[in-house]
A = this chain, B = another copy of it.
């Protein structure tokens, strides 16, 4: 019989936290007890799980007593403060925020890519950035067969990646269609930034704040996390991250260069059997991945595969996944499942 675990979710009411609850239930994760933790403000409120109603408890250090796995998705500062407290009390933390991702002692894991890194954990495992996860799931099988030297990605990221308030903002602005650029904007591109711009009928070439080199933090996450997850510190990676008026489902136009000469059929064959990947590439029947049809789906969808016309080692891919599922909640649960299987929990 499978071991039964006590699970805690920190930030269970957010866009990702809601999906974590759904996934735990849907995937039949072996739960002995479950608790939902949040700030004092939300403590005492009701929350649904598997058809039952639970009370949200305050996320204090003591709340982690007896917890086996704690799933964090309540912002970097909450993880910074409470993840070590949970570990101190014997819990394994799977953290969906960016706070610990680049810490040298914290494994950053996508099970299809670097499951073995879980063995090195010291209590905290980081769940990568949403747009990074789906890309490395698609690239790892190609890299294994053909090598990989260069990645240039342009993203088309859904508003759900910025939380429930951003989804609501897109909905409200869409309803105010005729106002055009005069619609109210309070959330995107970044809640804490000075300026906010409409997302309906618009594109925002800013996700997260800017860093000194001119790339945004989101772009640097894709660059640095890809290298860490794939264990390729010298891989050439560049990213341009753009928010688009799509509710859910991140899309990526990815240009790669591989080491061995190959053709499109080779890439097809590789991706057809790749874990976590669904090949959706039949242009004669207009079959290619689209975010609207990817919502609620577990896999990473890859299509529009083309060999570069000037470089036989260059390929172009179109990669789409549900950013709240494989990009966040699902990957977190898959980490927990992998750890269970590997007797790490």
Contact = CB atoms under 8 A, between A and B. Distances in A.
Contacts of A246: 201-203, 245
Nearest to A247: B201
Assembly of this chain: how many copies?
A: 2
A182 to B, nearest CB: 10
A195 interface: yes
Contacts of A245: 201, 244-246
B311 A236 contact: yes
A181 B284 CA distance: 22
Contact of A223 (B152, B177, B309, B314): B309
Contacts of A286: 189, 193-195, 206
A290 interface: yes
B152 A244 contact: no
A260 interface: no
A205 interface: yes
Size category of the binding interface on chain A: 35 or more
Interface in A264-316: 264, 283-286, 288-293, 295, 303-311, 314, 316
Contact of A201 (B195, B289, B292, B316): B292
B152 A255 contact: yes
Interface string A242-266: 1011110001010100000000100
A181 B238 contact: no
A60 interface: no
Contact of A253 (B201, B240, B306, B314): B240
A198 interface: yes
Given A213-B306, A214-B264, A223-B309, A318 B198 contact: no
17 contacts: A156-B244, A181-B292, A194-B285, A195-B286, A201-B247, A202-B246, A203-B251, A203-B291, A204-B290, A205-B251, A205-B289, A206-B288, A210-B284, A236-B311, A240-B253, A245-B245, A245-B246
4 smallest beta-carbon distances between A and B, as pairs:
A154-B253, A202-B292, A236-B310, A154-B154
